Structure 1
Amino acid sequence: MFALRSDRGRGSADGGVVLPRWLRKPARMLGRVRFDEIRPPRFAATMATAALFALTAVYGVVEGGHSEAVLTAVTSRVGFAINHVEIAGNNHTSEIDILQQIGLDGWTSMVGFDVRSARERIAELPWVESVAVQKVYPATLAVTIVEKKPFALWQQGSQLAVIEENGEVIAPFSGGRLATLPLVIGMGANEKGPKLVAQVQQVRGLRGRVKAYIRVADRRWDLRLDNGLTIKLPETDVEAALAEASRLDAEYQLFSRDVTSIDLRIPDRMAVALGPDAMKAREEMLKEMKAERRRGARI
């Protein structure tokens, strides 16, 4: 570093001062100032005192951890308070529940609002799969929700819940348009039911007619049709049993006859339980056949 020696140094023992290069220009400018001609403005002392108090207050707010609260209060009162929330994508989640999770108080500031925390709180709602929360300045909060997809209703005892296709429970069933969903009943039905529902929906004669899928002892299934008919399926080879049931219905209109149950649990064999009217007609037919035999024996 180069240095210059000045002959105009004041108070120097050898009459000169060696200055670094970066200080030479500021030193020359300072040397031209006549401090005896400077006149302070009126109320300079008052303004200096006020500035000191203001800086002290700011220091206290920062050191005390209140800077966020002060920032929120100030910005909310100068036009940055959240006064509008736009919610999209909610079909089963009420707007009231979403607003409660957001936690607005009427003076919540856009500047100090914690988007991540709000997103985490909204994600706790039962129907919410994912959520995005965005600030739209100056005073709007945009909330976009992706909800879980209901697949079926699961009845366990007296409890009824809405489940996803993977069997996970979404929320208790509260009625409404979800009543048209397939109903799976019994222990383990929530986990194993979706696969059977998908199979049955591909079977001719059964598609759209099964009102309940009943899990029996967590081993096999009964199908309850819309006319009250029960089809008892085996533990294994369910697909073959469903195909056989479809064939019998196509050939004999079995699902529309006066029968209460069709038992397909035994391979290569089917048992049919008749309804009251069909049973009565069968008994009368058997009586008539016995009477014919008696008349034939007498002859």
Structure 2
Amino acid sequence: MRSLLKSKLFYLSLLLLLALGILVTQSSRVSSFFATNPMNKFQINNNLQFTESEDILKAINSSDNEDKGYFKFNTKNLVDTLKKYSWIDFILVNKVWPQTVNIRLVEYKPYAIWTDGLKVGYITDKGKLFFSPKQQEVNSELENKNTTMQSLDLNTDKIQEGIPILISNEYYIQTALNYWYQIKDDLENSNLQIKEIRVDSSDAWQILLSNGILLNLDSIDINASIRRFLLAAEQIKVPQGYLVSYVDLRYNNGVSIKFIPEGQAKTSLISSLIPGKGGENLYNANFTSEPVKGDYKDDLN
């Protein structure tokens, strides 16, 4: 009886050793497969505005994942590398057996274009500043002084027509955005849109409207400035043959207005990137016109 039991244990042990050998062999083959067959399929969501496939491949190579198999491909390294792309808001990376990497990205959405004259970027509706790949190229050219602000196309990504522009240093971004939200509805209710907000180092605030009129604002009370402008817009009569160049609202009571001859406005090519100057032909359909009596002289500087 004991002899029979020992015989059974011997054969059972032999079968276990055989099974273990097969398992080790197969495991070695699987490991060899993953070691010699790199992750070569990448699935990326296609609702992206700025990210190109070249950006993903660059991130994979930079994260030390080039030609890595399933077990050695480091998703954390890839996520950390993708986080360096300032236009990316959210990242999710996972591996799928045997050779696929799933990458899900969410990009920041531009609310306005921002520039300080030295670099160009976008700001989100929350005031987050970020830079697209094309903007980074432009900024590199600006840094190397291969281009100038006067010749610069701010909307290099062609993201949308008429996207607003903020000209300021970074310090003013959130403050300008807060004012933007406070005043844009009042302007839009009067069929006026903000084209640019400009803030210089002396805390001088200006708004360029989409119809070409420049508003010089009271930096102490921006909202009161806009209210005075809207009130004046209902009452002002523009002299025949003239257009409104700018409206100065830096007064406790009242406003002052600079008019420009219509012919001069048609022939003037003034860059909207230069703070203090108008941006387009200064037509204003919301202001009525009547003949001016006597000689008109512009005494405003």
Q: What TM-score comes out, normalization by structure 1 length? A: 0.62
Q: Which has the higher contact order (CA 8 A, sep 6+)?
A: 2
Decide whether aligned partners of structure 1 residues 29 and 247 sit closer, same or farther in structure 2, where only a CA change above 3 A counts.
farther
- Deviation of 1:124 after TM superposition, in Å, equals 1.5
Q: Distance in 2 between matches of 1:225 and 1:240?
A: 17
Q: Distance in 2 between matches of 1:94 and 1:204?
A: 38
- Deviation of 1:73 after TM superposition, in Å, equals 5.0
Match of 1:96 among 32, 40, 54: 54
Match of 1:233 among 217, 223, 238: 217
Consecutive unaligned residues of structure 1, counting only runs of 5 or more, are 1-24, 34-50, 55-66, 289-299
Match of 1:190 among 173, 180, 183: 173
Decide whether aligned partners of structure 1 residues 244 and 168 sit closer, same or farther in structure 2, where only a CA change above 3 A counts.
same
- Does residue 75 (structure 1) correspond to residue 34 (structure 2)? The answer is yes
Q: Distance in 2 between matches of 1:216 and 1:196?
A: 15
Q: Distance in 1 between matches of 2:180 and 2:32?
A: 56
In the TM superposition, 1:67-216 aligns within 5 A as: 74-77=33-36, 81-88=38-45, 89-103=47-61, 104-105=65-66, 107-171=67-131, 173=135, 175-178=156-159, 180-187=162-169, 188-204=171-187, 209-216=193-200
Consecutive unaligned residues of structure 2, counting only runs of 5 or more, are 8-20, 139-155, 265-288, 297-301
Decide whether aligned partners of structure 1 residues 218 and 196 sit closer, same or farther in structure 2, where only a CA change above 3 A counts.
farther
CA RMSD between the two structures: 3.8
Decide whether aligned partners of structure 1 residues 102 and 226 sit closer, same or farther in structure 2, where only a CA change above 3 A counts.
same
Larger Rg: 1
**1:85-141 deviation per Cα after TM superposition (whole angstroms, max 9, x unaligned):** 011153212221112212354x42123221222211122212111211111222211
Partner of 1:63: none
- Deviation of 1:76 after TM superposition, in Å, equals 4.2
- Deviation of 1:272 after TM superposition, in Å, equals 1.0
**1:171-209 deviation per Cα after TM superposition (whole angstroms, max 9, x unaligned):** 163612236421111233423221122223212356653
Q: What TM-score comes out, normalization by structure 2 length? A: 0.62
Aligned amino acid, residue 246 of structure 2: S
Asked if structure 2 preserves the Cα contact closer than 8 Å seen for 1:259 and 1:278, the reply is no
Q: Distance in 2 between matches of 1:271 and 1:31?
A: 112
Question: Which has the larger helix fraction?
Answer: 1
Identity level (%): 19
Q: Distance in 2 between matches of 1:32 and 1:195?
A: 86
Decide whether aligned partners of structure 1 residues 144 and 208 sit closer, same or farther in structure 2, where only a CA change above 3 A counts.
farther
Asked if structure 2 preserves the Cα contact closer than 8 Å seen for 1:186 and 1:218, the reply is no
Partner of 1:219: 203
Q: Distance in 1 between matches of 2:30 and 2:5?
A: 44
Q: Distance in 1 between matches of 2:224 and 2:49?
A: 39
Q: Distance in 2 between matches of 1:208 and 1:133?
A: 44
Aligned amino acid, residue 214 of structure 2: T
Q: Distance in 2 between matches of 1:76 and 1:253?
A: 80
Decide whether aligned partners of structure 1 residues 198 and 32 sit closer, same or farther in structure 2, where only a CA change above 3 A counts.
closer
Q: Distance in 2 between matches of 1:270 and 1:132?
A: 54
Aligned amino acid, residue 177 of structure 1: K
- Deviation of 1:31 after TM superposition, in Å, equals 9.8
- Report the 3-state secondary structure (helix = DSSP H, G, I; strand = E; otherwise coil) of the residue aligned with 1:204: helix
Aligned amino acid, residue 107 of structure 2: E
Aligned amino acid, residue 44 of structure 2: I
- The count of residues paired between Structure 1 and Structure 2 equals 225
Asked if structure 2 preserves the Cα contact closer than 8 Å seen for 1:182 and 1:211, the reply is yes
Asked if structure 1 preserves the Cα contact closer than 8 Å seen for 2:192 and 2:209, the reply is no
Aligned amino acid, residue 55 of structure 2: D
